[in-house]
Amino acid sequence: MSESSEAAARSVAERFERLYGAAPDGVWAAPGRVNLIGEHTDYNDGFVMPFALPHTAVAAVARRDDGVLRLHSADVDDPVAELAVDALAPGSDRRWTAYPAGVVWALREAGHAVTGADVHLASTVPAGAGLSSSAALEVVVALALNDLFGLGLRGWQLARLCQRAENVYVGAPVGIMDQTASACCEEGHALFLDTRDLSQRQIPFDLAAEGMRLLVVDTRVEHSHSEGEYGKRRAGCEKGAALLGVDALRDVPYAELEAALARLGDEEEVRRLVRHVITEDERVERVVAFLEAGDTRAIGPVLAEGHASLRDDFRVSCPELDLVVDTALGAGALGARMTGGGFGGSAVVLAEEADVPVITKAVEEAFAAAGFRAPRTFEAVPSAGARRLR
């Protein structure tokens, strides 16, 4: 365990003890994620390729057998919330506690005898930056309960339950990527995930060894207003699949793209959405092939193509994200794209190590010149998925 996760585990455990008056049974961590490529494909049964961040949600948890669930976050200015596990009901909670409570609800609903817990958590995953702070929260609680109640569930099964918690209990129509990434990623790898059958492959992605870096630029534009837009895109994709007579857009082979687009006739909006999804799946496969062939620099242009498709066809970018991508590419980046759902959040920039200072400065200056809030840039090292710390 790294020194910083050791320190985080200790401080979260100590705070737990001060709050609840006894030591926790254990401490767990689950990371946020960045999606390298494969955006808005997960609800079309397609491909995604996230990797885990070093940023994690860390939870100290103690098992309870009296039906009481107590929740506390170091990052929210609320007292301990106390809930009864048998009274948990979807849609009843509009606060942050809905994420961990939703996990308990989903586990119980799936027939697992989770009889209560005390939870204290703290997270270094920035919330609302498109880096999946919500999945980190869900997965860390799910993993802790899996261990404490001896449920024996695998990472992908925990991910499914966490997705159900977020879909049904919280009421956010998210796909399976975030939770699977948080639960299943491995250090030094990106996760090639087929969101239809959840089959996965760890793809070596050790940029530092090859003299490259991947920057995450958080535009600090909140994406919370994007729910309605997300729903519209999702409905448009479903309409496209129906018009094309397939279960999901994933079923349209890339070789049949032009024919499929022609069949959509005057459905201009749907046609653009469909084109993004089908070409994006192909881009993910191209990135996997390049990385497996050891040709890492070749993925740069594919990332840039992906951004253009999200901006022009899927229309989920925003001026800040476009400015990061254009400025980074202009300053010598190998590739860049928005990541996450869009309408704000973060962009990823692939660059030679030596070019990082120039690119970072260029982006900062471009933001200042445009009158945008200063962005937050950090280096994303592909890190471990969810794990027990102590």
Binding site for ligand ADP (CB under 6 A): 73, 75-76, 96, 99, 123, 127-134, 137
Out of ligand ADP, Mg ion, none, which partner does residue 332 contact, by CB within 5 to 8 A per kind?
Answer: none
Out of Mg ion, ligand ADP, none, which partner does residue 180 contact, by CB within 5 to 8 A per kind?
Answer: none
From CA 324, how far away is CA 328, in angstroms rounded? 6
Facing residues of 59 across strands?
28, 121
| Distance spanning both ends of the chain, measured CA to CA | 10
- In DSSP notation, 157-173 reads HHHHHHHHIIIIII---
Nearer to ligand ADP, 240 or 345 (CB): 345
Nearer to ligand ADP, 50 or 240 (CB): 50
Token pair in block for residue 3: 């020194």
Residue tagged active-site, from 42, 178, 218, 281: 178
- Cβ 172 to ligand ADP, closest distance in Å? 6
Out of ligand ADP, Mg ion, none, which partner does residue 75 contact, by CB within 5 to 8 A per kind?
Answer: ligand ADP
Out of Mg ion, ligand ADP, none, which partner does residue 96 contact, by CB within 5 to 8 A per kind?
Answer: ligand ADP
Out of Mg ion, ligand ADP, none, which partner does residue 127 contact, by CB within 5 to 8 A per kind?
Answer: ligand ADP
Residue nearest to Mg ion (CB): 134
What value does the CA radius of gyration of the chain take, rounded to a whole number of Å?
21
- Cβ 75 to ligand ADP, closest distance in Å? 4
- Cβ 128 to Mg ion, closest distance in Å? 8
**Strands, sheet with 335-339, edge to edge from the N-terminal-most edge strand:** 335-339, 346-352, 212-218, 376-379
- Scan for tokens 């992906």, then name that residue: 306
CA-to-CA dists, residue 42 to 50, 177, 193, angstroms: 11, 7, 9
- Cβ 73 to ligand ADP, closest distance in Å? 3
From CA 52, how far away is CA 178, in angstroms rounded? 10
- Cβ 328 to Mg ion, closest distance in Å? 24
The alpha-helical segments, DSSP class H, found in the chain are 3-20, 98-109, 133-148, 155-164, 177-184, 227-244, 257-263, 268-292, 299-312, 319-330, 356-370
At residue 370, the 3 state secondary structure works out as helix
Nearer to Mg ion, 139 or 328 (CB): 139
- Cβ 129 to ligand ADP, closest distance in Å? 6
Nearer to ligand ADP, 134 or 309 (CB): 134
Nearer to Mg ion, 121 or 261 (CB): 121
Out of Mg ion, ligand ADP, none, which partner does residue 171 contact, by CB within 5 to 8 A per kind?
Answer: none
- Scan for tokens 């961040």, then name that residue: 53
Token pair in block for residue 234: 């999702």
178 is catalytic: yes
Nearer to Mg ion, 35 or 134 (CB): 134
In the complex, the residues that contact Mg ion under the rule CB under 5 A are: 134
Annotated catalytic sites, by residue? Answer: 178
